[in-house]
Structure 1
Amino acid sequence: MQNSHRQSTFHIYIACVGLMVFCSLLFSSCAQLPIQNYSQVLKENEHAPIYSIVCIVHGDNNYIYHDTTGNKLSADKETITQIIRVAQQNQNAEVFIFHQKPASNFLLFFPTKDGDFYYYRNGQLIANESYWRDQKESQLNPELELFNSYSADNKSEMKKIFLYFGHQIPEYGGEGYDESYPERTFTVSDLATGLINFLGDSEKFDMSILSTCYGGTPFTIDKLGALSKIIIASPENLHLSYFDLAPLEQLDEKLRIGNNISFAKNFAQNAFDKLTMNVQTSVSIAIYDVDSTKQYLNEIRMSYTNTLTNLKLQFQTFPSIVKQCDCAELPSYLLPQMNKGVTIFYRPARFGRLKNKQNHSGWECWKYDAKITNIR
């Protein structure tokens, strides 16, 4: 009787394990089926895309916020909805969407893929796959592999736009950026290294949009400026509702007939208007015409590098304790060329000690004195 009971328990255990494995394989395989194949798409859409958009949405950390009516929202999921709408509305674009999600397990034991990929071409969803993200140092290799598998052949002829949504990207260190992989590192330099391979024969992105906090630092603009003609970023803290993407929904009307700078101003103005209507904190959105900012960046590079070096010596990880401020508040950065190539949309916070600050240079620096050993 006891042996019979043990055998029954064992059979139930084997059946459960088998069911879990089957379900895991089923979910995994279903997530990787392309929606359409290329030959079918090319028959239906003979014209090559004019625009190429690469969008990375980081969701592996705390991205919960509340809207003005108190609804609880997830910033990364809201952004995915917006960028999918952009992809559907543009009949002359290819759009790559990478959603970097938290790690999770199926039935407690089986890890599931922690990245979702969408590829749209000329308004149609061509592929929707799940993929494994980098779990150590990240230079976007899994994303690049998918990009190369689906991208159109006429890369050098297209207008190229890059978008990144997430928390502030560290200028060094980078541990803990992902909640699922606390030992994994991700920095501005990692992002720049990864993006080089997305360009192929093209020299630069026509425009890069950083929807993060503190994206307008000299270091960040210097690094990503090597890969972008124009950068839109927030030099200060940015609310998790991010930049509104509505102007990207009609690229033929707004970008094709105008130049990149005029489109960037339209995008930034729209994002600024939406944010100032919905938040009480400060709002700052800057447009960097990269070539025009080079003289200023060259003159301050050594000062900023020295500051980062001293921060690294005092703080092994990227510091949250050290404050950042408008570079114009620091004498070594207040130079005649400071405003060249920078267009800033700024409104101070409705409360707090900086509520009367009426201007911002568009550059954000570390408010750090290397002589101070105990920063409070």
Structure 2
Amino acid sequence: MPDSQPRPPGGAMADTPALVLCGARLADGRTVDVRIGGGRIEAVGTSGSLPPGAGAARVDLGGYLLLPAPAEPHAHSDTALTADRTARSPAPYTAEDVQRRATEAALLQLGHGATALRSHVRIGDAQELGRLAAVLQARRSLRGLADLTAVAVPRLLTGLAGADGLAMLRDAVTMGAGVVGGCPDLDPDPTGYVETVLEVAAEHGCPVDLHTEGAEPARLARLAALAGGVPAGVTLGPCAGLAALPAEVAARAADQLAAAGVTVVCLPQGGCGGVERRGTERAGGVRGVAPVRLLRAAGVRLAAGGGALRDMSNPVGRGDPLEAAYLLASQGGVRAADAYGAVSGAARAAMGLPEVRVEAGFPAELLAVRGERIEGVLSLAYSRIVIHRGRVVARTSAVREYCDSAESGAPELPRQGRPGAGP
């Protein structure tokens, strides 16, 4: 099986210095200290109860909410950051270009808090396996900062034209793609396409992650039935077409997805470059987004991702998990805690990653956000500290200043940015 979960160079985990997070607020309202060592949480105690000890670093998290780190289950590293290209200067997708953009995009997402990313990468066409090779090189350059897993996405897998795609898909897994994916909606034989994907996944023991709109209930039902029971797990997304179906039809499709045990990754910002955008507000959903309330009511495993990051399908994509959670809560009718869970615990589960809790024994994959309650930090708070494998790997600090009243003329500006004072 390919190395779908890259590890830092030998000894890096054990050599990580001890770290104590002091005065952090948890989602349940407690204020605690958290001691970290060897990439895991060693102890959680009341504030002031865990001295740093010799050689341990100390991080003051007064005024911050400490949460399990989010993950990005549906990125597109090979097309990220291409929105500014014009018809006059359509820079080619060279290996160096893709690697640079994939790395930059991952670092942007890491700064927002995503310590693990799953990226769908197109294979075939003129680039063949070039984009994948570049994304895998970006993955290597990110070791110790963020975990990046590549999903191989062939265009065709059936008929005479699909023979090359099948051979390339097998080569992609051998190269290091950790997940077998694709867009069955674009193949003349979607059922045959899915059967081929499942066959390759079974050969290599890989999980499956497929793009589908889900606008045709019969096709979605066949897909769910085929995918059900795959040991390594099956993910579908973004399934936005379900929102355009009549409520009773969408409800039957949701029941079939739940029975198959697949995970649906929705994209609250509204689509990605992998499939055509479509869908309107139906069945309790948001325009261009899977009907999250309907899916949750049916018992479907639901996660959320960002999708496009400043490419042609969404030139203003931010790649921020808190934005995805905010949109779920504000437009999708999901409680704030559950919305954050969709981009953290549920996203990690969809990616086959270990569970994270702020408790002893769990992996030290954490995000500290300035604020006191989850509802507040989903307002796209910007001051953040990101911890990956027990190390602080990213910091973002925001300071807000207000001009004094016009009458006083005083130049002094009150500041926000101290713990508890602002975003």
TM over 0.5: no
Q: Considering Cα pairs closer than 8 Å and 6+ residues apart, tell me whether 1 or 2 has the greater RCO.
A: 2
Higher Rg: 1
- Relative to total residues, which structure has the larger helix share, 1 or 2? 1
Q: Could you tell me the TM-score, scaled by structure 2's length?
A: 0.30
